Amino acid sequence: MKSLRKLATAGAMLILATRALAAPAPAFDADLLSLQQAWAHANYEMPAGDARSAAFDALEERAADLVERNPARAEALIWQGIIESSHAGVKGGLGALGLCKDARASLEAALKLNPAALDGSAYTSLGALYYKVPGFPIGFGDDDKAARLLQQALQLNPAGIDPNYFYAEYLFEQGRYAESLKYLEKAAQAAPRPGREVADKGRRAEIAALSVKVQAKLS
């Protein structure tokens, strides 16, 4: 009996310890939104240069800490991947490939935990990586895989601003301009995201810029 009681006590302590690893939902949501807003500021409002690069270094540290404190939350891994891939874009060149690989690992880990997290954002970001990164032998880019991932994102979030924009950008790169315009129009009609005003403004500017390029190809 004593051994059973000890086992039960140990099991209860393990459950409590596991729960302690993850922040309560309201606290996690607040931390995640703060990270999203800081990313939007660095990505859309800061000029290129050392300060912006330093901001992304700090964002990577914050994202890694959020993942460490919430190992069962796919949302944290998604944003770690988004920050790593955005940082790669800031760095540019072959030196950014390591960050792209880190981003791929973060997003794939998120998909294993919860493919539907954040309306399938892991599919969106991973799909974007696969069409932006060079293919073999330099990188892991794969246009066919990018298409499949982006289509999965659209199945989960058909009216979302990000999946529609990135699929439109992919289609533009493929020379499928009429189809690209269709998805750009859907992206432009997406509902605003509360607390994500800076990100929405930046993305809408990207939609407008890409729309000009598409119209030029179609005219």
pTM: 0.88
147-164 pLDDT, tens digit per residue, is: 999 999 999 999 999 999
Task: Check residue 93 and give its pLDDT.
Answer: 79
Hey, what are 194's tokens?
């509360």
Helix (H) or strand (E) holding 171: helix 161-173
What's 134's DSSP letter? -
Number of neighbouring beta carbons within 10 Å of residue 177: 18
* pLDDT above 70 for 124: yes
- Cβ-in-10-Å burial (0-12, 13-18, 19+) of 167 comes to buried
- Cβ-in-10-Å burial (0-12, 13-18, 19+) of 175 comes to exposed
68-107 pLDDT, tens digit per residue, is: 999 999 999 999 999 999 999 998 877 799 999 999 999 9
Contact 190, 161 (CB under 8 A): yes
